[in-house]
Amino acid sequence: MYSPPDFDEIEVSFWGPGYGECILIHALNNEWIIIDSCIDPITKRQPALEYLKKISVNPAEAVKLIAATHWHDDHIRGLSGLFDICKSADFLMSEALTKKEFLVLAESIGKNAKIEGKSGLEEMQNIFSILEEASKSRSERNFKAPIRASANKCVWVSPTNSTTRLFSLSPSDYSILQSERELAGLIPKIKNPKNWLVTKIPNANHVAVVLWFEFSEITLLLGSDLEDDKNPQTGWTAIVNSSCRQQGKAAIYKIPHHGSITGHNPDVWGGMLTATPYAVCSPYNRGNKLPSPADVHRLCGCTPHAYVTSTKKISEASLKKEKAIQKTIEESGIKFHEREYLPGMVRLRKKLGAKGDACSLETFHSAAHLSNFR
């Protein structure tokens, strides 16, 4: 497991312990990209960072880009810690912000706009604090403004291979406009400053960033949490109908929104993916658990290569029980060596020059074929 890819070998690794997800990509020549972040529920560590250390990759030098597809808690936990360590990385975020996200940004740049109960949005604030320090030349990082993702935009090109390119396919222009309308709600009406305009984005997941990663021989489509409500100006329908997006078909697909039917668009499977793509889903084990049995059946019918990052459900009750057991052991005076807990991981690798779209695929620990998810 802990052997690094060759310099001419593409690697895409997926984690998703049940709450959160993270994707790590080797973009050749020891250039790495991290998309979103999650925390191991037991060790409280970031799996991508732990993995890079174990394969002897220095994240401070090798990670070139860190992306937050959107600012939901289950996609950004630990992200600011990753960004702080990865000193050579640029930062990518959505062009569209919700009202709460804008207030966090305003607070971070000194506008004194306080927002209570930020929860995971503290990660966003910490990232902007890191960038603010860099802009004042008080850190090791060279300051560069965040790259803002929008529809059909090239957001990164490998400095060592111009055929390795990353494009954002969302948010759509209309979704950005809707987010700006929501921000207008922060402006009091003329002659009535106590009344605030109220405009809400129809679906907050419409501001999520979908990424299209092109290599010379294979393409990735990373679906984030983008959903689809059949509106031609938003979500997956806007991407499918766009005449400006990158063409071709992706052989590796990060299934959007934890496999939910709300992220499913048949035209994506029929027009943007190869006939039997490698498709990876991260589960969501809180509230309405995803993917549902119907989702599993549907996705396994779309491709024989459907996988899930974890089949192990770790509930709050089980974590409390484990802590109680640990406390009892400690109080008894028994000494023991900590056993390393490793979250599920799906890893795909493809050597440049290998014919076709075939990749070597490995699942580790609780990751498995999607048909095994219960």
Under a CB-based contact definition with an 8 Å cutoff, are residues 155 and 167 in contact?
Answer: yes
Strand 90-94, strand 147-149: pairing: parallel
By CB neighbour count within 10 A (0-12 exposed, 13-18 middle, 19+ buried), where does 294 fall? exposed
Q: Please give the structure tokens belonging to residue 12.
A: 């895409």
pLDDT attached to residue 295: 97
Strands ordered across the beta sheet of 250-254? 153-157, 165-168, 211-214, 219-222, 250-254, 273-281, 306-308, 368-369
pLDDT attached to residue 108: 62
By CB neighbour count within 10 A (0-12 exposed, 13-18 middle, 19+ buried), where does 50 fall? middle
3-state secondary structure of 40: coil
Contacts of 111 (CB under 8 A, 6+ apart): none
* CA–CA distance, 79 with 20 (Å, rounded to integer): 11
3-state secondary structure of 330: helix
pLDDT attached to residue 341: 46
* Kind plus residue range of the DSSP H or E element containing 220: strand 219-222
Contacts of 71 (CB under 8 A, 6+ apart): 98, 101, 120, 121, 123, 124
pLDDT attached to residue 151: 97
Under a CB-based contact definition with an 8 Å cutoff, are residues 306 and 299 in contact?
Answer: yes
Domain boundaries, the chain: 9-372
Averages of pLDDT over runs of 10 residues in the chain (374 residues) are 93 95 97 96 90 97 96 90 96 86 66 47 86 81 92 97 96 91 68 46 78 96 95 96 96 98 97 98 91 97 97 57 60 56 86 90 95 92
| CATH node for 9-372 | 3.60.15.10
* CA–CA distance, 143 with 36 (Å, rounded to integer): 21
Q: Please give the structure tokens belonging to residue 132.
A: 């603010």
Contacts of 359 (CB under 8 A, 6+ apart): 218, 251, 252, 278, 348, 349, 350
